[in-house]
């Protein structure tokens, strides 16, 4: 039996520090990204997702040298997002050793298709950041229903989709199980659930609801109610248990 993927997420700020956000706002410093990656190497994590959360808002291109250095440090596949806006950005990152590129929901179909055509769908991960408004889940920044945007990115050529709940980000209260259960089975591409996990059992619940993988920053960075920083990752037997009901 193959355990589902459990993916640590490293949020990188403009100062190249790993931070953890709450509802995409308040930030807590976690540590140096290279030290954290070395710890995850020792723990044999499935893969790592790195998101430069300030690149787009600062109007910057990807931090190519930094991304390449992170990739060289990783013993596992690395997904990278932040500031990717052209096919040339994508080419440079892939050439520098990044296995997967994370493209946010504002990216148009043309770029998604171009990257998928040149490097394969497996190299393209779409990321949809959404809020729950009434009975709807709306993707920012254009407030399009989540199921519509998810279907658009799947048709455009992404190989995977990250569904990230802004409302649950950093809360450690559990993931959007209702949303995952409603949307994941309707999609033709694997779904990675992100947002709200504080424990491994939260990721298990997301997988049982239909996600193909569970991702988190908090679940692998904090311990206890006081949010003490402790980098952790379940061993193989614990991950196998994620397959069981």
Q: Within 13 Å, how many C-alpha atoms sit on residue 95's CB side?
A: 8
DSSP 3-state of 10: strand
Query: Could you give the CA distance from residue 44 to residue 24 in angstroms, rounded to a whole number?
Result: 28
Contact assessment for residue 168 and residue 175, using Cβ atoms and an 8 Å cutoff: yes
Query: Could you give the CA distance from residue 41 to residue 99 in angstroms, rounded to a whole number?
Result: 16
Catalytic residue among 52, 54, 63, 129: 129
Decide if 129 is catalytic.
Answer: yes
- Sequence-distant (6+) residues with CB within 8 A of 47 are 5, 7, 76, 77, 78, 79, 99
Catalytic residues: 129
């Amino acid at each position: 039996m193959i355990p589902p993927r459990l993916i640590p997420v490293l949020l990188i700020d403009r100062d190249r520090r790993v931070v953890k956000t709450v509802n995409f706002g308040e930030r807590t410093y976690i540590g140096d990204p290279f030290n954290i990656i070395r710890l995850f190497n020792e723990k044999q994590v499935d893969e790592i997702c790195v998101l430069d959360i300030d690149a787009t808002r600062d109007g910057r291109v990807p931090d190519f040298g930094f991304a390449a250095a992170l990739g060289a440090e990783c013993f596992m596949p690395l997904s990278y997002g932040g500031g990717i806006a052209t096919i040339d950005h994508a080419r440079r990152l892939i050439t520098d050793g990044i296995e997967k590129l994370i493209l946010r929901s504002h990216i148009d179909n043309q770029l998604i298709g171009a990257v998928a055509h040149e490097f394969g769908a497996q190299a393209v991960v779409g990321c949809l950041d959404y809020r729950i408004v009434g009975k709807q889940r709306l993707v920012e920044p254009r407030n399009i229903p989540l199921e519509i945007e998810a279907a658009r990115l799947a048709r455009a050529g992404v190989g995977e989709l990250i569904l990230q709940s802004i409302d649950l980000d950093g809360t450690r209260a559990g993931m959007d199980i209702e949303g995952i259960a409603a949307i994941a089975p309707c999609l033709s591409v694997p779904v990675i659930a992100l947002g709200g996990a504080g424990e491994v059992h939260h990721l298990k619940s997301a997988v049982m609801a239909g996600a193909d993988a569970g991702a988190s920053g908090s679940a692998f960075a904090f311990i206890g109610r006081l949010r003490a920083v402790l980098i952790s990752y379940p061993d193989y037997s614990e991950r196998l248990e994620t397959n069981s009901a």
